[in-house]
């Protein structure tokens, strides 16, 4: 188990048990280090930590906005977490580039505008565990460490424990998956990507990560999923022998939330950008959802086929506490059901949300503005949406789904309206704003 600062948080308010114990499979656990002390190669000059804006305690509004921000006229856009609760959040950070080296270089110095938006967004919402998707993975884990040390820590966020691992994004498949008659390029990668690791995940935690119980599912083949949706007629035996289920990453990362070994399993997942989706990616995303639902069902009859990268089979142990966070098999170009879908009578088959093992708190935008005034599509939006899509309806892509027995005390989507505090972080006219929104869920603890 990693060493370093430990936060003693009692268990989630229902029975908790330890998960299956397996070895770490290629991930990087950056635990035990003081967040502001990222290490670099000895021959590089370590730039000084930049001066950041003055921040109050995490989760509290900044008393005076920076000059570029809209004036706060009383609208509330954040919610203070109750004492003792555990806040789990996810956000697609969009921190990618032309290579791992270029991403790392852009982050060094602490002045990257997109990373600063991520840090300010995280600061205002104060998660205890944060799953960032859309972050490039590098072999040494330096991108994750630099993001923590140069951006999150100066923003007042204390994440002594960080986990990242390889992703299928950009790994050459050796076959013509996109059917263009040529082998090679991002369309023929196991998960869409210009280079290995382009689209990955990082987990930042205020509480210890149980290193020797992490399970990863990078190598699980799509063809190994029972009754899978892989189009047999369109793909050769070679295609089916290499095409993996996860387009980026899929992990079970246990987080220790108490002194007596209570564990919260963070089931993290991400997707390649929807604009890069290939013909089979929608079907693969739905099968990935089915696999996650089977993994958390606690029924061996559902999870018998699941094998992690260390060769261990099966799903979560019965009674395990978990939260699914990230983009769990989000359907490219569609997103998840929202209130508007229900009003239109749409009934799409989207596994996982209907699982009896999972609850969907349906987080809504924390704003006092009318949604009709939100910049974007003329077709409107929905309070549960998490991604702004220019010229189209906003979509629900990022999810935080606790297990069915967990006590959810609050939830929200950080999406301030025009004129409210923090609007510059989501304003589509702002050069550094993100298209995705941070989603959070508070879990009651005893």
What average pLDDT does this structure show over 109-125?
96
Q: Give the residue with greater pLDDT, 218 vs 36.
A: 218
Distance CA 164, CA 167 (A): 9
Confidence at 105, pLDDT banded by 50, 70, 90? very high
- pLDDT the model gives residue 337: 52
pTM: 0.83
Confidence at 334, pLDDT banded by 50, 70, 90? low
Confidence at 446, pLDDT banded by 50, 70, 90? low
| 263-269 and 321-326 beta bridge pairing | parallel
Q: Which of 56-70, 136-150, 312-326, 416-430 has the lowest mean pLDDT?
A: 56-70
| DSSP code string of 368-383 | SS-GGGSSS-TT---T
Q: Give the residue with greater pLDDT, 178 vs 375.
A: 178
Q: What is the DSSP letter of 339?
A: H
Distance CA 272, CA 266 (A): 20
> Hey, CA dihedral for 394, 360, 272, 416, is it positive or negative?
positive
| HSE of 108, CA atoms in CB hemisphere, 13 A | 15
Q: What percent of the chain has pLDDT over 90?
A: 59
Decide: 88 and 323 in contact? Cβ < 8 Å.
Answer: yes
pLDDT at 359 over 50: yes
For residue range 343-352, list pLDDT tens digits in order.
333 434 568 9
For residue range 225-259, list pLDDT tens digits in order.
999 998 877 788 999 999 999 999 999 999 999 76
Decide: 202 and 244 in contact? Cβ < 8 Å.
Answer: no
Q: What is the DSSP letter of 142?
A: H
Q: What is the DSSP letter of 400?
A: E
- Which class for 26: exposed (0-12), middle (13-18), buried (19 or more C-beta within 10 A)? middle
Decide: 251 and 316 in contact? Cβ < 8 Å.
Answer: no
How far separated are the first and last CA of the chain, in Å rounded?
24
Contacts of 442 (CB under 8 A, 6+ apart): 81, 82, 85, 86, 87, 408, 409, 410, 411
CA 230 to chain centre: 25
Mean pLDDT score of the chain, rounded to an integer? 81
- pLDDT the model gives residue 59: 44
Q: Of 127, 177, 129, 399, whose CA–CA distance to 288 is shortest?
A: 399
- pLDDT the model gives residue 351: 81
- pLDDT the model gives residue 379: 61
């Amino acid at each position: 188990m990693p060493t370093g600062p430990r936060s003693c948080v009692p268990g989630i308010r229902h029975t908790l048990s330890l998960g299956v114990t397996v070895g770490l499979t290629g991930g990087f656990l950056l635990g035990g280090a003081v967040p502001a002390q990222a290490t670099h190669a000895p021959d590089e000059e370590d730039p000084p930590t930049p001066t950041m804006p003055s921040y109050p305690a995490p989760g509290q509004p900044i008393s005076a906005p920076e000059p570029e921000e809209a004036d706060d006229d009383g609208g509330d856009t954040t919610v203070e977490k109750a004492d003792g609760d555990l806040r789990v959040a996810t956000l697609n950070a969009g921190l990618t580039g032309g290579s791992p080296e270029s991403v790392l270089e852009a982050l060094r110095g602490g002045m990257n505008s997109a990373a600063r938006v991520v840090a300010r967004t995280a600061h205002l919402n104060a998660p205890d565990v944060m799953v960032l998707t859309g972050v490039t993975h590098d072999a040494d884990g330096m991108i994750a460490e630099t993001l923590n040390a140069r951006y999150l820590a100066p923003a007042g966020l204390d994440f002594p424990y960080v986990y990242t691992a390889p992703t299928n994004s950009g790994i050459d498949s050796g076959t013509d998956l996109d059917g263009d008659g040529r082998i090679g390029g991002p369309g023929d990668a196991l998960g869409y990507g210009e280079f290995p690791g382009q689209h990955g995940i990082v987990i930042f935690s205020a509480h210890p990560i149980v290193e020797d119980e992490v399970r990863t599912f990078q190598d699980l083949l799509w063809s190994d999923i029972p009754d899978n949706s892989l189009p047999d007629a369109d793909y050769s035996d070679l295609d089916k022998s290499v095409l993996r289920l996860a387009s980026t990453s899929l992990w079970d990362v246990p987080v220790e939330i108490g002194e007596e070994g209570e564990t919260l399993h963070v089931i993290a997942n991400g997707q390649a950008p929807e604009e890069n989706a290939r013909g089979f990616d929608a079907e693969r995303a739905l099968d990935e959802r089915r696999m996650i639902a089977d993994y958390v069902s606690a029924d061996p009859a559902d999870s018998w086929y699941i094998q992690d990268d260390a060769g261990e089979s099966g799903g979560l142990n019965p009674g395990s506490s978990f939260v699914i966070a990230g983009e769990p098999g989000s359907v490219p170009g569609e997103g998840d059901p929202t209130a508007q879908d229900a009003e239109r009578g749409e009934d799409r088959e989207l596994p996982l949300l209907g699982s009896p093992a999972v609850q969907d708190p349906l987080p809504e935008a924390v704003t006092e503005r009318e949604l009709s005034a939100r910049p974007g599509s003329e077709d409107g939006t929905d309070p549960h949406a998490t991604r702004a899509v220019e010229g189209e309806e906003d979509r629900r892509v990022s999810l935080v789904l606790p297990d069915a027995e967990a006590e959810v005390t609050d939830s929200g989507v950080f999406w301030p309206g025009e004129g409210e505090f923090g609007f510059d972080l989501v304003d589509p006219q702002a050069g550094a704003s993100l298209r995705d929104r941070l989603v959070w869920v508070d879990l009651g603890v005893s």
